[in-house]
């Protein structure tokens, strides 16, 4: 099977076919317990933990839709992967979701034995709206002094509530991209009902004036995604601030398909980028133990 055939199979395989669903549990959010799923790579403690925040445009939390992606990532990387939900905008708008994201990271460091990881390497990750939360959680961890993060993985993230990028504004000739852009706008209206919040760096990380001292980042964009330019601009700004960045543009997502971004993220090209990034984070640790 070639890589293109493998991509197609992994992208279209139902999330419940031939795989464990992950261990259901609750994690502690900022104000209340949150539904979560834990995917372990095998017996024994994993070398690191990825805390993953799913998409849903801030108005839903698509935790179940990420099952196959998180299962594949755990098996491929050897890391434990924790998918965590968060407070949606319909329940409570900004900053509830980002406070949840930071709280889950802190909870994970206190509960490493329960989660089956060593406590050494912690990565914040997410897709779409969850990519925003993963990026902001890294900002919050830096600003608040904890927890220490080894890296961040931002998959097709929503980073600009102003929707000002060229790729976001040039969707008029593409109905699927136009619908995707409209969904982003709708999500931001629910998440950020007060105009003044749209300039806050914890809502709008792309406009943060402080990019230094953040953990290494993997940023994945996709060729036909309106979110493409803001993801790549964020990577460039991180790099200009001295942060180690791996940026990769993936082939077209196919935005007319259900859960298109999540399907794209479990293709071979995206999984390889994530597993390589995690392996690079762990490599210095292996040298230190040698």
Q: What confidence tens digit (pLDDT) does each residue in 93-147 have?
A: 999 999 999 999 999 999 999 999 999 999 999 999 999 999 999 999 999 999 9
Confidence class of residue 265 from pLDDT cuts 50, 70 and 90? very high
For residue 76 the two structure tokens come to: 């491929």
Task: Over range 66-75, report the average pLDDT.
Answer: 96
Mean pLDDT along residues 205-224: 95
How far is Cα 253 from Cα 261, in angstroms, rounded to an integer?
6
The pLDDT-based confidence of 284 (bands split at 50, 70, 90) is low
Domains of the chain (ranges, CATH numbers): 3-11+37-279 (3.40.50.1820)
Residue 224: the pLDDT is 87
Cβ atoms of residues 243 and 216 within 8 Å: yes
Q: Which of 64-68, 141-145, 176-180, 204-208 has the lowest mean pLDDT?
A: 176-180
Instruction: Give the pLDDT score at 238.
Output: 98
pLDDT interval class at 20 (50, 70, 90): low
Q: pLDDT band for position 19 (50/70/90)?
A: low
Question: Is 90 exceeded by the pLDDT of residue 44?
Answer: no
Q: How many beta carbons lie within 10 A of that of residue 28, not counting itself?
A: 17
With a cut of 50, say whether residue 12 has pLDDT above it: no
3-state secondary structure of 111: coil
The string over 180-205, giving b where at least 16 C-beta atoms fall within 10 Å of a residue's C-beta and e elsewhere, is bbebbeebbebbbeeeebbebbbbbb
């Amino acid at each position: 099977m070639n890589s293109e055939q493998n991509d197609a199979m992994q992208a279209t395989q139902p999330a419940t076919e031939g795989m464990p669903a992950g261990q259901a549990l609750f994690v502690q959010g900022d104000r209340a317990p949150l539904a979560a799923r834990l995917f372990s790579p095998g017996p024994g403690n994993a070398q690191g933990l990825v805390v993953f925040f799913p998409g849903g445009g801030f108005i839903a939390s698509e935790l179940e839709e990420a099952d196959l992606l998180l299962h594949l990532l755990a098996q491929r990387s050897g890391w434990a992967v924790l998918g965590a939900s968060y407070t949606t905008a319909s329940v409570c708008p900004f900053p509830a979701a980002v406070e949840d994201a930071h709280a889950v990271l802190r909870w994970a460091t206190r509960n490493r034995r329960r989660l089956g990881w060593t406590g050494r390497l912690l990565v914040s990750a997410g897709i779409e709206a969850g990519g925003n939360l993963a990026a902001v959680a890294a900002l919050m961890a830096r600003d608040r002094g904890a927890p220490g993060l080894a890296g961040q993985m931002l998959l097709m993230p929503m980073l600009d509530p102003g929707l000002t990028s060229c790729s976001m504004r040039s969707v008029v000739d593409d109905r699927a991209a136009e619908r995707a852009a409209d969904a982003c706008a709708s999500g931001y209206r629910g998440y950020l009902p007060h105009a003044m919040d749209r300039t806050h760096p914890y809502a709008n990380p792309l406009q943060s004036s402080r990019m230094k001292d953040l953990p290494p980042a993997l940023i994945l964009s996709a060729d036909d995604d309106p979110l493409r330019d803001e993801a790549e601009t964020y990577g460039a700004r991180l790099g200009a601030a001295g942060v180690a960045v791996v940026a990769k543009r993936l082939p077209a997502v196919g935005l007319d398909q259900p859960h298109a971004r999540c399907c794209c993220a479990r293709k071979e090209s995206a999984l390889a980028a994530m597993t390589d990034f995690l392996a690079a984070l762990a490599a210095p640790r292996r040298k230190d133990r040698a």
